[in-house]
Chain A
Amino acid sequence: MSGHQSTYDPQTGIEKWIDARLPLPRLVYDSFVDFPTPKNLNYWYTFGGILALCLMTQIITGIVLAMHYTASVDLAFASVERIMRDVPYGWLLRYIHAVGASFFFLAVYVHIFRGLYYGSYKAPREVLWILGCVIFLLMMATAFLGYMLPWGQMSLHGANVIIGLFGAIPLVGESLQTWLMGGPSIGNQTLQRFFSLHYLLPFVIAGVVILHIWALHVPGNNNPTGVEVQDVKKDTVPFHPYYTVKDAFAIVVFFIVFGAFVFYAPNVLGHADNYIEANPLVTPAHIVPEWYLLPFYAILRAITFDIGPIDAKLLGVVAMFASIGVLFVLPWLDTSKVKSMRYRPVAKQFFFGFVVACLLLGWCGATNPDNPIIKLGSDQLVVSHTDANGLPASATFSEYEEAKAHMEALPAESAPSMGIQVAPAFRFLHLGQILTLYYFAYFLVILPVLGLREQPKEEPESIHKAILGSHSQSDDVRLVPAAAE
Chain B
Amino acid sequence: MSTDIAENDNVDVDEERRDFIHIATGMTAAAGAGLLAWPFVDQMNPASDTKAASSLDVDVSKVVEGSEIRVLIGGKPFFIRHRTAAEIASAQSANLSGMRDPEEDADRLVPTPSGEVNPSILVISGACTHLGCVPVGPGGGNLGDFGGWYCPCHGSHYDTSGRIRKGPAPSNLPVPTYRYVSDTVVNISL
Contacts and interface: CB of A to CB of B under 8 A. Distances in A.
Secondary structure call for the A interface = loop
Contact of A185 (B45, B70, B74, B153): B74
Interface residues of A, number: 21
A285 B154 CA distance: 8
Contact of A187 (B74, B131, B132): B74
Interface stretch (A123-131, A174-182, A198-206): A174-182
B54 A184 contact: yes
Nearest to B54: A184
Nearest to A184: B74
Interface in B1-60: 44-47, 50, 54
Interface string A159-198: 0110010000000000000111011111101000100000
Contacts, number: 60
A281 interface: yes
Given A161-B131, A164-B132, A183-B50, A281 B75 contact: no
A281 B152 contact: no
B134 interface: yes
Nearest to B133: A283
Nearest to A279: B134
Contacts of A345: none
A63 interface: no
A409 interface: no
Contacts of A183: 46-47, 50, 74-75
B135 to A, nearest CB: 9
Contact of A179 (B45, B47, B74, B153): B45
Contacts of B45: 178-179, 182
Interface in A257-289: 280-283, 285-287
Interface of B: 44-47, 50, 54, 70, 72-77, 126, 131-134, 152-153, 190
26 contacts: A160-B132, A161-B132, A164-B131, A178-B45, A180-B44, A182-B45, A182-B46, A182-B47, A183-B46, A183-B50, A183-B74, A183-B75, A184-B46, A185-B74, A187-B75, A189-B50, A280-B72, A280-B76, A281-B72, A281-B126, A281-B134, A282-B134, A283-B132, A283-B152, A285-B152, A285-B153
Given A187-B50, A187-B75, 18 more contacts: A161-B131, A161-B132, A178-B46, A182-B46, A183-B46, A184-B50, A184-B74, A185-B74, A185-B76, A186-B75, A189-B46, A280-B72, A280-B77, A281-B70, A281-B77, A282-B134, A283-B134, A287-B153
